[in-house]
Amino acid sequence: MVPEVLRFNKWLQRRSPHACTHIHYIGDLKLFFTWAGKPFPAITIRDVDAYIAHCQHVLGNSPGTVNRKLTALRAFYAFLDLELDDAPANPVIPKRHYVQRGEQLPRVPKEADVRRLFAAIEAAGDARDHAMFLSMYACGLRVSEVRKLSMSDLLLRPGFGSLPRLLVHGKRNKQRCAPLLSNWREGRSWGRI
């Protein structure tokens, strides 16, 4: 990996120490530069155009995945502009290099699939895994939000007039409350909910 990408990785980690952004962005940069076969100063706007086509038609990436890859590349060149006196121009142009997303409805898992998932978790006998998956399913938590949970975030006996809830630390350290269903609080398995 070139030194500039290593410095970019450290810079991302300093900016957002609790986020996984640096892992995804560095992975996206490795894929791009391996595909391009050129050093970063030689990348052109046309290279970015061709990479979008490659991601869509060869790799079959979704618009969201392509846009994330473009965001990683644009952020890398913005970082170079801060770091280098003779930084190359950013080849990612937001109005040109953006893939429109179609309207998407949330995907609802089939009841049978959810029951099979929780049956497998229960069969493994790991109460921690059961609580994590139940939190993601019942409270709508992301994996990263579950990872950040601590016992102090669990409010089972809040003040008068308040329902039991979970304090969730989301993206960009934004905090929200997720109500806890009685089934979640009682620790019942999915099969008996």
Radius of gyration over alpha carbons of the chain, in Å?
Answer: 22
Asked: is 111-192 a CATH 1.10.443.10 domain? The reply is yes
Q: Name, in order, each residue with C-beta under 8 angstroms of 91's C-beta and a sequence gap of 6 or more.
A: 43, 44, 45, 47, 48, 73, 77
The highest-level CATH class for domain 3-83 is mainly alpha
Q: Which residue ranges does the chain devote to CATH 1.10.150?
A: 3-83
Cβ–Cβ < 8 Å for 69, 32: yes
Q: Which residue ranges does the chain devote to CATH 1.10.443.10?
A: 111-192
For 115-169, write each residue's pLDDT tens digit. 888 888 888 888 888 888 888 887 788 888 888 888 888 877 767 767 778 888 8
Is 0.85 surpassed by the pTM of this model?
A: no
For 5-46, write each residue's pLDDT tens digit. 999 999 999 988 878 888 999 999 999 999 999 999 999 999
Cβ–Cβ < 8 Å for 163, 87: no
Q: Which two tokens stand for residue 12?
A: 């991302």
State the Cα–Cα distance between residues 163 and 101, nearest whole angstrom: 37
pLDDT of residue 100: 77
